[in-house]
Structure 1
Amino acid sequence: MFSITMVVAVVVVFGVLVLVHELGHFITAKLTGMRVDEFAIGFGPKLCSFKRGETVYSIRSIPLGGFNKIAGMEQDDKEAGDRAYWAKPVWQRMIVIVAGGAMNIFLAYVLIFGILVTSGIQTPVTQAELGSVVAQKPAAQAGLKTGDVIVAINGEKVATWEDFAEKVKNSDGQVLQMDYLRNGEEHSASVIPEYDKTAKQAMVGVMAATRHTPISFPDAVVMAGKQVVYITYAMIAAIGGMVMGTVHADLAGPIGVATIIGQAAELGVQSVLNIMILLSINLGIINLLPVPALDGGHFFTLVVEALRGKPLSSDLMRKSQFVGLALLLMLMFFATAQDFTRLFG
């Protein structure tokens, strides 16, 4: 069941990711001289708005992202004149289309950089020391606290966190007698792990303790870039594997993603930021795939236009958008079905 904290985390994460994406389109549209009629935070009915120059800035009632209305997005729209989207050179339109996904990847870079500068690198300790203990989960209910060091489970020695995790993951519903040290004193607690459908293993609601290593500003600049490149490469490889059938298509729809964000919220702000980093890069990559109805599909049509010297017909564009939207809805249905299977299966 979602708590208020979890709901707020979901709204903030989804909202920021979509808003940053749309901000990328907005900034580049302005810089290339396109007319932007409205930039909105949120969706639905307007709560308030003001006009500055030619653009209306509004706040709307559903706080999940935003949108911007660029004049002349349709070829048949002639009202915006030479400031219409379609009136601009192909290379400028390419920049505007790619900017949304690029901003999502840049957001991930900024978040990683910020975490490195402020928190440094958190490396797990060797022993099975508890870092975060999630409220209302088995470990917390048994009285375990942050800083406790697990030394044995059911009489078997636990030397490392890996030992601890290995003994817990296949123990769904079993009573585990955990011996632990707290401030040098020995204690014991009975813990019954619960099966987590998202992680697909038994868990007790704890994370490993970590040690802090500070990172300098220049090192953070380089390290953040390397991490973004690594994560991006890994995600592209995974998507390629799913398309080729070499990787199991274990997808998460809106419900699954919201559940993951909610679980991260229980562990603290940095856990939410880590999830936001992964989701932001994922959104950037997915949105740039050459699929009609996505920015990547739009970019592909611009490449075709540049090669043939004239744009595709409005009718063909509309048909391709319809096909792309149908494919996305089918994928969304499949992902949501998997969400329900994980939750209730």
Structure 2
Amino acid sequence: MALYSNIVGELLGRLSEYFVINSSRCVRVRHKAAQCSACMDVCSADAITITAAGGRVLVDWSRCSDCGKCHAACGNGVFSLRKAVRDQLFASAAAQIGRHDKVVLSCRQSPHAQHAAYSAVTLACFNRMILVRLVAMGAKNIVLLKGECSTCGTPCEDIICKEIDTVVSIVSLGARETSISLADTFEAPRERNDAIGRNSKQENGKPASRREFFGLIKNRALASIGSGIHYFTESSVDNNKDILDAGNSNVSREAYLYDLKTIGGETLLGKMVTEGLVNVVAIDREKCRLCGICSRMCPNCAFTLDYETVKGREKATDIHMNNILCTGCGLCRISCPSKAITVRP
């Protein structure tokens, strides 16, 4: 049924207006022995199905309410915000930071979501990578407005509170003074930002459908952002690698690493490992054959190998692991033929 709904949804263009799915990043799709079911566990609508290794992540769009809990639960980025939605969210945040160092973003189920400056997606979408990005942008006070949970089915406050606690701990290690809180209401400023225009009507004054409204949001957001904002399109790290590619729909783990360095530098990364805020992957050097399977299987490119040329051929000489990029999925451990890897949460 999920497969049928997914195919029909693709044909009719009735897929999620907020999210895209990248099945290749799913650990259960990448390896038949993987046991992760985080997205299915949090989905109150039972809309998600994962096929066997080499298959796909399928969503029954007739059941899906776009609540975003799957986006929060999956650390590997299988479910990611559409580029237009993500850009509109960060553009709204950047405009607010430029005025008063405060960012107010609203769940789309909140009455405040009608205010153009506060419009956002569901509360569950504010995972730690997005919150860290807001702090790196300069936000000193982040307020997330809660919404009514009748549409999504079940509250996501427990999910977002866990992410907030983690980010607050990270920011405190980086010696940044930033507060992140949930609120039911917020007094909006009198002046209204009409950059999005008549967000509930078409140009002819008639009520807009959900899809037409999304198209309007996308066009106005892209027009307001343009292609010249340095922060979104030209940031680079290490080998000038473009970690914020305009075609990337998610805040990647590399971008997350860059944001952490912006907040507290290399010192912060070391403190996160010491304080147990990241997963720690240990490699038994005696067992490791430097085959590179873990590097190829990791969806977040957390492993890197050193090579040297011997008789005209490249030979691996050492392997390194960046624990900040690790999501703890355990795919490296179960795919290692030498059983040389252990993962400690």
TM-score bracket relative to the smaller structure:
under 0.3
Larger helix proportion of the pair: 1
Specify the structure having the higher radius of gyration (Cα): 1
TM-score normalised by structure 1 residue count: 0.26
